Amino acid sequence: MEFLNPGFLFGLSALAVPVIIHLIQIRRYRKIYFSDIRYLKDLQQESRRRSRLRDLLILLLRMLAVACLVLAFARPYLPADHLLAGSEKAGVVGIYIDNSFSMEGAFGDGSLLDEATNKASGIVASMVPGGRYQILTNDFKGMHQRMMDRDEVIREADAVLPSPVRRTLPEVLVRMTDQADLMNTGSAWLFVLSDFQKAFADAGAILPDTGIRVVLVPIRSDHPGNLHVDSCWFESPVQQVGQAAVIHAWISNSSEEAYEKIPVRLMLNGRQRAVASFDVGRGETADVVLPFTCTEPGFQSGELVITDYPVVFDDRFFFSFHVSETIRVLCVNGREENIYLNSLFSGDSLFLYHNAPEGRLDYSSIPRYSFVVLNGLTTISSGLSQELVRFVENGGSLAVVPPFMMDIAGYNSFLTRMGCGIYDHKDSTATRVDRINLQHPLFSGVFEEIPENIDLPAVSAWYPLRSPIRSGSVTLLEMTGGTPFLTLSPSGKGKVYLFAVPFDISHSMFPRHAIFVPALYKMAISSQIPGKLYYTIGKDDIIEIPGAVTTGEELLVVRDQSGMMEFIPDQRKTGRDMTLLMHDNIREAGHYVLFNGSDTVQLLSFNYDRLESVMDFMTDEDLEGMASDDPSGRISILETPEGRFDQGMEEIGTGAGLWIWFIISALVFFFAEIAMLRLLK
């Protein structure tokens, strides 16, 4: 038998107290002479012997009761070789507190994280004084790598806060192993305090052979459900000033109850712009549609908001987008300007339209445009070809309108470099367009309804288009017999539109047909490169910024909207684009502004990872399966029924605890003394 608190054994000196009391209370007898005391003397001698026996028994019971109380406070236990019976045997005791966002779940009057920190303190309190301890959280803080004493661990556990960082059980074990190796310890224990989401510890995961004995301490929520905003997207990738926009909010319900009439608010630039309500069944998702109108150009910061407790980190979803005031369109002309293109783009304030003859084109100006139209160029020079290939690779949109007479070899050489279709020799067979690809976004929303016998443009002469053998190329307009009239091919980050006819009524009625305006209009609008609506903290550490040009020693700076936090990200330039590496500098969800000097380059929105929002936990059977499947037998589960956590920890930390038996024995001796005083008067 050993003692957890051997210092209390000095309390055995209190055994002298009942002995002193006993000696003080011994009666002193006086002699009294009577005439005939023969019978009285016999009675007196017999009573004295019985009184002395009673007093000795009472003294013994008192001393036993006091001794049992002292021994109980000394915490006696029977150590076992495989348990944490002393610091020499224990080595390092690690305590991992899962502080991921799912630990915000309800537990009693607090949260799961509160319960985890309380149990961490209980674990340390049950250990032998003088042990070496390490605390671990998802943050993997450097300060937690050092060894701590009991008081330090308790203080650190109480200071643990929720974190957006997610870890897995194998990662925690490897982290613990690094410290155990550093201390050259012969053994190490790790207590895992977690709600055991399946994303944290999959029952089928293979744990690394670290040699650490692992004790799983599951903490279950009273109400494990959660409602959260999962993602969002626009119906149209490009938004315009004064035009109606529609955003979809994807709301997920991972609880066991259904919700009805739950409001979701759309905030835009700090102002509420739309409200909608939704119903969602248990374990289901809801697609909530929120229409609004963009009233001003520039960067827009948006936020989708719901109300749900107690897990609240995922009730707000941040996104941002850019609304262009104008779209820059360049038309490179061969013989002369096209009257139909001029009528379409010159009369609309949305477009900043510029005509340039091929011979007087400044090639360095091409990257400043979003949409370039090659109108009737007989041939394409090598310089122009090279610049246009670079333009498309960087995300620009190019429309090729063939001339009356084409240098087919030159055109096809240029188009082949971009992986597009190629032209064949002109065909003068009369035909007409007979099919519109209404499934493609270019024509979505153009027609309210399509008549059965729709009148599509007639074609009198055309250049046959041969599509490349590659995925991604689609036919947008098709002539009789399945011959392409208009195709779209992705190339690099951009796209290339190929027309089969010149924009002249001598070849086709297409320029005068109603389909001409929406087709070219949507091409120009969709040429805008939509930025990413949002990023995920911990996942999207690499961010590409197209066309972010820095000069001299200027560096891009990321700053939150409050201006309280800023940092310089790792910057790598690739051509005209810039790649930023965040390196976990962003830890809080919200909007961040990317500056080049004093100029705003882009608005970036970050959200917490939604994997923590899914309330899908490992069951007791899953945990038992994990323990039984481990061949080394180093994984055990600490069952903690109500009010028995301390007892369970005592059995793990010190062996079989005997203090409760000494408490019971002390009570028995006290009651025996009381009974003796009452019965043996």
On whether both 46 and 100 belong to a single domain, the answer is no
On whether both 117 and 196 belong to a single domain, the answer is yes
On whether both 242 and 145 belong to a single domain, the answer is no
Query: Mean pLDDT, the chain, as a whole number?
Result: 83
User: How many C-beta atoms surround the C-beta of residue 303 within 10 A?
Assistant: 22
The answer to whether position 510 is within a domain reads: yes
On whether both 307 and 286 belong to a single domain, the answer is yes
Higher-confidence position of 202 and 304: 304
**Residue 313, φ and ψ in degrees, nearest 5:** -65, -25
CATH number at 372 reads 3.40.50.880
23: containing domain: 2-79+661-679
On whether both 359 and 482 belong to a single domain, the answer is yes
DSSP letters of 439-504? TSGGGTTT-S---TT--PPEESSB--EE--SSTT-EEEEEETTS-EEEEEEEETTEEEEEESS-SS
Rounded Cα distance between 579 and 571, Å, is 6
Domain boundary among 525, 555, 588: 525
On whether both 47 and 10 belong to a single domain, the answer is yes
DSSP letters of 273-336? EEEEEEEE-TT-EEEEEEEEE--S-EEEEEEEE---SS--TTSEEEEEEEEBS-EEEEEEESSS
Bridge partners (DSSP) of residue 475 are 487
The answer to whether position 172 is within a domain reads: yes
Q: Which pLDDT band holds residue 209 (cuts at 50, 70, 90)?
A: low
Q: Which pLDDT band holds residue 451 (cuts at 50, 70, 90)?
A: low
Out of 77-86, 424-433, 440-449, 654-663, the most confident range is 424-433
On whether both 331 and 303 belong to a single domain, the answer is no
CATH number at 236 reads 2.60.40.10
Rounded Cα distance between 342 and 528, Å, is 20
The residue type of 437 is N
Q: Which pLDDT band holds residue 552 (cuts at 50, 70, 90)?
A: low
The answer to whether position 530 is within a domain reads: no
Residues 6+ apart with CB under 8 A from 263: 275, 276, 277, 306, 307
Does 268 score more than 90 pLDDT? yes
* Predicted confidence (pLDDT) per residue in 598-632, tens digit: 888 899 999 999 988 988 888 888 888 888 877 66
What is the arithmetic mean of pLDDT over 449-461? 81
Looking at residue 28, its pLDDT comes to 55
The answer to whether position 583 is within a domain reads: yes
* Predicted confidence (pLDDT) per residue in 343-374, tens digit: 999 888 889 999 999 888 999 899 999 999 99
Find the helix or strand (DSSP H, E) in which 573 lies. strand 570-574
**Residue 495, φ and ψ in degrees, nearest 5:** -150, 155
Looking at residue 516, its pLDDT comes to 94
What is the arithmetic mean of pLDDT over 374-396? 92
Q: Which pLDDT band holds residue 259 (cuts at 50, 70, 90)?
A: very high
On whether both 203 and 105 belong to a single domain, the answer is yes
Rounded Cα distance between 522 and 505, Å, is 22
Report in angstroms the alpha-carbon separations of 525 from 116, 238, 552: 54, 7, 34
Looking at residue 89, its pLDDT comes to 44
On whether both 128 and 246 belong to a single domain, the answer is no
Domain boundary among 303, 319, 335: 319
Nearest residue to 116 (alpha-carbon basis) of 224, 218, 223, 222: 218
Residues 6+ apart with CB under 8 A from 449: none
Q: In what order do the strands lie in the sheet with 132-136?
A: 132-136, 92-97, 188-194, 213-218, 635-637
* Predicted confidence (pLDDT) per residue in 628-646, tens digit: 877 667 788 876 555 456 5
CATH number at 111 reads 3.40.50.410
Question: What's 553's DSSP letter?
Answer: T
Q: Which pLDDT band holds residue 35 (cuts at 50, 70, 90)?
A: low
Looking at residue 333, its pLDDT comes to 94
What is the arithmetic mean of pLDDT over 41-46? 56
560-575 as b/e: b if 16+ CB within 10 A: beeeeeeeebeeeeee
The answer to whether position 612 is within a domain reads: no
Q: Which pLDDT band holds residue 83 (cuts at 50, 70, 90)?
A: very low
| Of 366-375, 536-545, 548-557, minimum mean pLDDT range | 548-557
Domain boundary among 490, 525, 560: 525
User: How many C-beta atoms surround the C-beta of residue 228 within 10 A?
Assistant: 24
Does 331 score more than 90 pLDDT? yes
Find the helix or strand (DSSP H, E) in which 268 lies. strand 259-268
Is the CB of residue 311 less than 8 Å from the CB of residue 336?
no
Rounded Cα distance between 293 and 60, Å, is 91
Looking at residue 376, its pLDDT comes to 93
The answer to whether position 145 is within a domain reads: yes
Q: Which pLDDT band holds residue 60 (cuts at 50, 70, 90)?
A: confident
Is the CB of residue 626 less than 8 Å from the CB of residue 203?
yes
Rounded Cα distance between 118 and 47, Å, is 59
The answer to whether position 278 is within a domain reads: yes
Looking at residue 13, its pLDDT comes to 78
What is the arithmetic mean of pLDDT over 436-445? 84
Scanning the structure block, which residue is given the tokens 């070809």?
A: 385
What is the arithmetic mean of pLDDT over 424-432? 93
* Predicted confidence (pLDDT) per residue in 143-190, tens digit: 877 888 888 888 889 999 999 888 888 888 888 877 655 555 556 788
Is the CB of residue 161 less than 8 Å from the CB of residue 137?
no
On whether both 470 and 573 belong to a single domain, the answer is no
The encoded tokens of residue 32 equal 């009294």
Rounded Cα distance between 258 and 287, Å, is 15
What is the arithmetic mean of pLDDT over 539-556? 73
Does 87 score more than 50 pLDDT? no
Looking at residue 324, its pLDDT comes to 84
* Predicted confidence (pLDDT) per residue in 97-118, tens digit: 999 999 998 888 889 999 999 9
Count CA within 13 A, CB hemisphere, residue 567.
Answer: 12
Does 129 score more than 70 pLDDT? no
Looking at residue 173, its pLDDT comes to 83
Q: Which pLDDT band holds residue 88 (cuts at 50, 70, 90)?
A: very low
3-state secondary structure of 197: strand
The structural domain count of the chain equals 5
On whether both 98 and 147 belong to a single domain, the answer is yes
User: How many C-beta atoms surround the C-beta of residue 584 within 10 A?
Assistant: 11
The set of long-range contacts for 266-271, using a CB threshold of 8 Å and a minimum separation of 24, is 266/290, 266/292, 266/302, 266/303, 266/304, 267/302, 267/303, 267/304, 267/305, 268/292, 268/300, 268/301, 268/302, 268/303, 269/300, 269/301, 270/301
Looking at residue 547, its pLDDT comes to 67
Looking at residue 126, its pLDDT comes to 74
What is the arithmetic mean of pLDDT over 548-574? 80
The residue type of 89 is K
28-54 as b/e: b if 16+ CB within 10 A: eeeeeeeeeeeeeeeeeeeeeeeeeee
The answer to whether position 637 is within a domain reads: yes
On whether both 431 and 542 belong to a single domain, the answer is no
**Residue 443, φ and ψ in degrees, nearest 5:** -110, 10
Rounded Cα distance between 605 and 531, Å, is 11
DSSP letters of 574-619? ETTEEEEE-TT---S-EEEEEEETTEEEEEEEEE--GGGG---B--
CATH number at 594 reads 2.60.40
Looking at residue 600, its pLDDT comes to 87
Residues of the chain above pLDDT 90, percent:
37
The encoded tokens of residue 27 equal 């009666």
Looking at residue 86, its pLDDT comes to 42
* Predicted confidence (pLDDT) per residue in 472-514, tens digit: 789 999 999 889 999 999 998 899 999 999 999 999 999 999 8
Answer whether the bond into residue 310 is a cis peptide, omega within 30°.
yes
* Predicted confidence (pLDDT) per residue in 211-250, tens digit: 678 888 999 887 788 999 999 999 887 888 888 899 999 9
